[in-house]
């Protein structure tokens, strides 16, 4: 086996102890390792020059989201171990870490290819430059930032006008992201195997502006009908970019997919996770 990556969230001090135990476990099996840190100002990704067999990601869903934007373009599969709160995207918890990793080493898993988004900001200058590409596993969000005024936006799909919004923002979500911010804003839960992109307005002024789903072969363009100082573009809720006057945002499905290692068994099933994490399997108490 080639080198295995161990990526961990440095904001949780207990993760470092887990990393050291995991490295000792893998080294005992003759497997070399590479460490990567998230939640740190140091950019370890610049020093990843060798191919990895896969990467073990220690943290919550946020750690896995951030890692996906780095590893998906490299085609490296990720195996998430939940040391955070919800753990919707990851497998198990660190308490049975070695047992879980042993299953992966024995190839007792399948790989889910999760769709990602690719975004560009088309600048308003005379040269019509592009900023991007930017990638997201959950969603790309247009937000009003710290300003209180609503945003006036126009949505085009494949250069055809679809809707005008007066809203606090707009969520462009993958099926994976449908259980995150999009769900909180009134969107639908989407099976991750569906090839679609969900568009969800945030607090739209017009009640007929409803969430809708388009084929992921479409190209989505967002323009702004009024001055929109302070408007932000957010990637998975982690990276922020400012939108300037006259800019446009173009979003499509990324050519890269996030390769997620899933163990064999019901606990890795999407609907099992939905029932457990969202309590869909519980009757309302009288």
Q: How far lies 77's CA from each of 5, 118, 203, in Å?
A: 10, 19, 36
Question: Which residues are CB-neighbours of 176 under 8 A, at least 6 positions away?
Answer: 89, 114, 115, 137, 138, 192, 258
The two tokens of residue 87 are 């753990």
Phi first, then psi: what are they for 171, rounded to 5°? -105, 125
Q: What are the C-alpha distances in Å from 89 to residues 61, 72, 79, 111, 201?
A: 6, 15, 10, 13, 24
Burial of 173 (0-12, 13-18, 19+ CB in 10 A): buried
Q: From the candidates 44, 61, 164, 191, which is the catalytic residue?
A: 61
- Specify the pairing of strand 4-9 against strand 33-38: parallel
* Residue 285: CB atoms within 10 Å: 4
Active-site residue flag, 61: yes
How far the first Cα of the chain sits from its last, in Å, is 55
Does residue 137 have a cis bond before it (omega within 30 degrees)?
no
Active site residues: 61
């Amino acid at each position: 086996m080639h080198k295995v990556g161990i990526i961990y969230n440095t904001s949780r001090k207990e993760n470092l102890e887990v990393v050291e135990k995991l490295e000792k476990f893998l080294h005992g099996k003759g497997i070399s390792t590479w460490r990567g840190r998230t939640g740190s100002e140091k950019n370890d990704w610049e020093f990843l020059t060798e191919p990895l067999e896969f990467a073990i990601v220690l943290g919550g869903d946020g750690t896995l989201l951030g890692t996906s934007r780095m590893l998906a373009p490299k085609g490296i599969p990720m195996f998430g171990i939940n040391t955070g709160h919800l753990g919707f995207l990851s497998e198990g918890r660190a308490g049975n870490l070695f047992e879980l990793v042993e299953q992966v080493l024995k190839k007792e898993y399948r790989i889910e290819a999760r769709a990602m988004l690719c975004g560009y900001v088309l600048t308003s200058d005379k040269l019509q430059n592009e900023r991007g590409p930017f990638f997201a596993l959950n969603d790309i969000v247009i937000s009003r930032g710290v300003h209180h005024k609503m945003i006036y936006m126009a949505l085009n799909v494949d250069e055809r006008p679809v809707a005008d919004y007066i809203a606090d923002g707009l969520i462009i979500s993958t099926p994976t992201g449908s259980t995150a911010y999009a769900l909180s804003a009134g969107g639908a839960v989407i099976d991750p195997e569906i090839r679609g992109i969900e568009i969800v307005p945030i607090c739209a002024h017009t009640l007929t502006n409803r969430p809708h789903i388009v084929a992921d072969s479409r190209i989505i363009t967002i323009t702004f009908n009024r001055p929109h100082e302070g408007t932000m573009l957010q990637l998975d809720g982690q990276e922020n970019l400012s939108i300037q006057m006259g800019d446009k945002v173009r979003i499509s499905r990324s050519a890269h997919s996030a390769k997620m290692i899933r163990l064999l068994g019901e606990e890795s099933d999407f609907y099992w996770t939905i029932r457990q994490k969202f309590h869909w399997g519980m009757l309302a108490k009288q």
